[in-house]
Amino acid sequence: MIYNKFILLFIFFTGLFSQDKGQKFFKEKKYNEARKYYESVLEHRDDDKAAMFGLGSSAYYQNDIEAALNSFGNTIDTDNKALRSKSYYNIARILQDKNEIEQSLSFYRKSLELNPNDMDTKINYELLKNQMKQHQKQEDNQNKENNDNQNDESQQNQDQSNKEDENNSQENESKSEQYKNENKEEDKNEMVENDSSKQDESPTKETDQNANDQPLEENKNKSDELMQAEAILNALKDQEKINQKQKILKTKSYKFDKDW
């Protein structure tokens, strides 16, 4: 992309070379005819640096960038300092279009070393330096903004995480308190049940005691009846003995009562 504020390639060869047909075609923007002319010259004089420079300028305006770079590159070994300076300048301008900023600045500097008073080179060099500084500043600001956004996002995530941890902690405390209350309620219910069980056990014990006492009473009653029965039986036996004795006595009396 060619920026209008930058000075373009040198398209006039005045002061570098004598007027020729190629320059005439170039001024008329007949870049194809100009290129063919310089190619025909190079067929006969392949070391003609001026024709090589003209070929490069024609190729550039035909948008054949690689051919232009190749042609200008073949002219930087010339002994003509003015031609070499212009070749460096044109190479720098093409690299600038390709956004190869560091290399472009390097070729601008080489051009200025050969011709420090060239205003076109100075202007493009300074404009490109300022543009690079602004671009670097924009990148730094963008990086800073990205870092700030990342830090803000990280802080938000941390705050969210802390909030979730706090909520979880509160929830756990609530559950723990609920669990304690439930345990207290269960213990309370258990104590009530135990008291109820003790109360229920008391009649049982009394019943058991009555049950234990009843056989003793029955045994006592049975013992009294048995003693009475034995007493009666003994009395009968005594009476029977008495009767038996009386009977015997009567019998004896009867037997010994002789019938004289």
> What secondary structure does DSSP assign to 183-239, as a single string?
HHHHHHHHHHHHHHHHHHHHHHHHHHHHHHHHHHHHHHHHHHHHHHHHHHHHHHHHH
pLDDT at res. 168: 80
Q: What is the pLDDT of residues 12-65, one digit of tens each?
A: 444 455 457 888 898 899 999 999 999 999 999 989 999 999 999 999 999 999
Q: What is the pLDDT of residues 230-256, one digit of tens each?
A: 777 777 777 666 666 555 444 444 443
Give me the number of domains the chain comprises.
1
**CATH number, domain with residue 78:** 1.25.40.10
The range of the structural domain enclosing residue 122 comes to 21-140
- pLDDT of 207 > 60? The answer is no
Output the DSSP codes for 67-123.
HHHHHHHTTTT-S-HHHHHHHHHHHHHHHHHTT-HHHHHHHHHHHHHH-TT-HHHHH
Q: What is the pLDDT of residues 177-190, one digit of tens each?
A: 777 676 666 666 66
pTM above 0.85, yes or no: no
pLDDT at res. 240: 65
In a domain, 10, yes or no: no
In a domain, 29, yes or no: yes
In a domain, 196, yes or no: no
Residue with tokens 């770079």: 69
